[in-house]
Structure 1
Amino acid sequence: MYLHLPHSQAAIVVVEVREKMLFQVGGQGTRPTFFEMAAAQQLPSSLRAALTYSLGVLALRRPFIHKILDYEDECFALLTLVLETHSLRTTDGSFAESLYGLRRRAVKIKVKGDNKGPDAREEINHTGLEKRQKILSVVFLVILPYLRSKLHSIYNKEREAALQASLWGHEDERFGDANYFDGDGNPIVSTSGSDTEDSVRERLRKKIRKIIAACYPWIHAGNEGLSFAYQLLYLLDATGFYSLGLHALGIHVCRATGQELMDSSSRISKIRSRERERLRGPPWLKAVQRALLSCAYGVLDYAQTGLIAAVFFFKMMEWWYQSAEERMSAPTVYPPPPPPPPPKVAKEGIPLPTDRTLCPLCSQKRANPSVVSVSGLVFCYSCVFRYVSQYKRCPVTLMPATVDHIRRLFHDV
């Protein structure tokens, strides 16, 4: 059928790509879909945002929590270190991957047939993770994101400092005189070696920050480009590695089977029983240690549920405050105000005629009708202009008015 198409090869490629993408969406076999891998990769950032938001809300009532927020990167790195180490030890998968029923497997490639023959084929076998791969996985999951966040914060500070310097000038140029002269105008000469060492350290620190600010955009762009390339290749089923880190470690992420889930639960129970048997000391100390271990195991067991609840709570509060802000910023449509009461005719004023089309001043049909804005009554333009110019008031209500309060009416427009 494709031979009769004008662009048969292009059509075949499009169909193959579409079939591969549909296979990725369907999620058949042990290979995770692209969306499962993307969700597992984005979960730590969502978890961090949820925890930061919750601590920020609590810090409004408990100011000491601000100290935790000052060391946000370190606290989150410590939390992820505990979670990732425990998850890799018990389930052979990261914390986010274990939530989606995924496991990490080492890749071993075997060549079938003659190595130099044209019929040689490669067979991929998956085995359990080695201790070295688990340690390196912790490095890629915890240490590298922590360093990336610190580099990003340094880059932002340097960029803000450069922006302020371009607008207001350098701090040394603005306040340098106050640092080198005393109150009498005499120069201050420092003879201590500690000040010189501090200045050298500060100068070295500034140079390192400038180097980081200059190199970080290129490093970040290269990292994002490689991540996009690996994700695109994984989506098109051109590679089994979702990221550069997994490729460097030689690890595939696979779906966990029912037997593997049962094995992991039995492995966890064996590890915990072995740790309880290692307890040493008097009976009361063993009881305290067992209680602490039980509490730690309970926290680790319910950490997944608690963190998922935290993410859900964060998303709910974000939606709630966003909808509240939209309601506050949305323009309110008020009903039109009621019409003002009709003007009252003064005792010494000119009475209104019964026919509303007549001018109260000349008692003739209005010519070039004009209204006096202070009272809302309509007269002939020439009549009301002469009266207001002479008496500075409305002829009927006697309210103060000037010729600027006269407005022409155009009925035919």
Structure 2
Amino acid sequence: MLFQVGGQGIRPTFFEMAAAQQLPSSLRAALTYSIGVLALRRPILHKVLDYEDEFFALLMLVLETHSLRTTDASFSESLYGLRRRALKIRVQKDNARSNSGDRIHHSGLEKHQKVLSVVFMVVLPYFKSKLHSIYNKEREARLRASLWGDGDDRFDDADYLAGGGTSFVSTSSSDVEASARTRLKNRIQKIIGACYPWLHAGNEGLSFAYQLLYLLDATGFYSLGLHALGIHVCRATGQELMDTSSRISKIRSNERERLLGPPWLKAVQGALLSSMYTVLDYAQTGLIAAVFFFKMMEWWYQSAEERMSAPTVYPPPPPPPPPKIAKEGIPLPPDRTICPLCSQKRANPSALAVSGFVFCYACIFKYVSQYKRCPVTLMPATGDQIRRLFHDV
């Protein structure tokens, strides 16, 4: 066992149950991320990503079956030292007082409870994932149709007759069957698109209600699936944790004894079983290490992206050097409020863009229109380069 969350009694805390329930989703994200990184160098791994739901469901089927068989707990529950126990109500009668009382008794899981547990933990999440993907595709198709119109509208072959019967379209039986399958598929997708939000909302609402009741100690079932199966999740005792290894050894020795065939075939089967046992023994450690590695890489790349996307602050550029006054140009008056052309206080001040000097609008417009240059620097200028100022500097 990798984790042992402390607590009193056999009833797990809400945080233990929440952590055990959220571990499969984190594990799937870690595996998807790892395979995606490896697929950059090995394109053949893209096929695994194409069948991501099936790959993860098969992996969890092996892990959950092995965990329920050996520890009476799911894969994630066994990591937190939890065990599943069947709930039974025993009725005790007191002859002295002639009244009855009920006592809750926990026992080991039966075979059908283990099978149904695998169905609730693997099969139902797989179908939920597939329905969610179909719903997303249908929603994208609706959004695309609302924006661009339905581009799949075509005339039916039976209705495509023009020119009074002069044009005929021959339709084969395979085309008819293909079109019928396509219409049936589209109809099923539309039904799923209409019903899935309500089913998803009901499922999430029931999950929230059970979790809230479990948090308030109003029920002993953390989820609807556990309630339907009549299973309580309890914290394993020290003796149970010690007996787990001996139980696993006993199961594996019985499996080796049941091997049939000649000695060489038994040796091959024994080697395969040993390899499978080794993989299963270290699967917990490896998968949890993959989750932590995924979280670390997610944090690392997120911080790197933030550093790369952060805007770089550069110092403001230095101002350009002031224009040089030409020797043949008009000299500047000592008072900056005087126009160099008329030697009077500026009226409607305007600046010449090529040099930046300020004049009276009438004076500079008349000068530039006649000489096509700045009167101070003698730089070429036009009337379009005159800028009116609303505040005299």
Which of the five TM-score ranges fits, normalised by the shorter chain? Answer: 0.7 to 0.9
> Counterparts of 1:337 and 1:83 in 2: how far apart (Å)?
63
Q: Deviations over 1:88-125 (max 9, x none)?
A: 0111100111111111111112234469x997443212
Which of the pair is proportionally richer in helix? Answer: 1
Q: 2:24 aligns with which of 30, 41, 44?
A: 44
- Any stretches of 5+ residues in structure 2 without a counterpart? none
Q: Show the counterpart of 2:194.
A: 214
Q: Deviations over 1:256-308 (max 9, x none)?
A: 12111111111112222222333344444343333322221221111112111
Q: Deviations over 1:134-154 (max 9, x none)?
A: 111001111111111112222
| Equivalent position SS for 1:317 | helix
Paired residues in the alignment total 382
Q: Is the 8 A contact 1:366 1:379 kept in 2?
A: no
> Counterparts of 1:181 and 1:49 in 2: how far apart (Å)?
54
Q: Deviations over 1:377-406 (max 9, x none)?
A: 344555434433432322222223334433
Q: Is the 8 A contact 1:106 1:126 kept in 2?
A: yes
Q: 2:10 aligns with which of 24, 27, 30?
A: 30
Q: Show the counterpart of 2:233.
A: 253
* 1:312 maps to 2:292: yes
> Counterparts of 1:311 and 1:151 in 2: how far apart (Å)?
26
* 1:367 maps to 2:346: yes
Q: How does 1:171-186 map to 2 (within 5 A)?
A: 171-174=151-154, 186=167
**1:162 Cα shift?**
2.8
Q: 1:288 aligns with which of 258, 263, 268?
A: 268
Q: Show the counterpart of 2:250.
A: 270
Q: 1:397 aligns with which of 371, 374, 377?
A: 377
Q: Residue type matched to 1:214 in 2?
A: A
Call closer, same or farther: CA 1:391–1:114 in 2, change over 3 Å: farther
Q: Residue type matched to 1:357 in 2?
A: R
* 1:110 maps to 2:90: yes
Q: Show the counterpart of 2:282.
A: 302
> Counterparts of 2:266 and 2:107 in 1: how far apart (Å)?
38
Q: Show the counterpart of 2:117.
A: 137
Q: Deviations over 1:204-263 (max 9, x none)?
A: 333333332222222222111111111110010000000010001110111112111111
Q: How does 1:77-156 map to 2 (within 5 A)?
A: 77-113=57-93, 120-156=100-136
Call closer, same or farther: CA 1:198–1:43 in 2, change over 3 Å: same
- Any stretches of 5+ residues in structure 1 without a counterpart? 1-24
* 1:68 maps to 2:79: no
> Counterparts of 2:30 and 2:140 in 1: how far apart (Å)?
26
Q: CA RMSD for the aligned pairs? A: 3.0
Q: Show the counterpart of 1:14.
A: none
> Counterparts of 1:295 and 1:175 in 2: how far apart (Å)?
60
Call closer, same or farther: CA 1:411–1:312 in 2, change over 3 Å: farther
**1:180 Cα shift?**
6.0
Q: Show the counterpart of 1:244.
A: 224
| Equivalent position SS for 1:122 | strand
Q: How does 1:224-235 map to 2 (within 5 A)?
A: 224-235=204-215
Q: Deviations over 1:326-363 (max 9, x none)?
A: 3333332211111111212335333456x473757259
> Counterparts of 2:176 and 2:344 in 1: how far apart (Å)?
98
| Equivalent position SS for 1:371 | strand
Alignment TM-score, normalising by the size of structure 2: 0.86
| Equivalent position SS for 2:153 | helix
**1:319 Cα shift?**
2.1
Q: 1:357 aligns with which of 325, 331, 336?
A: 336
> Counterparts of 1:208 and 1:360 in 2: how far apart (Å)?
83
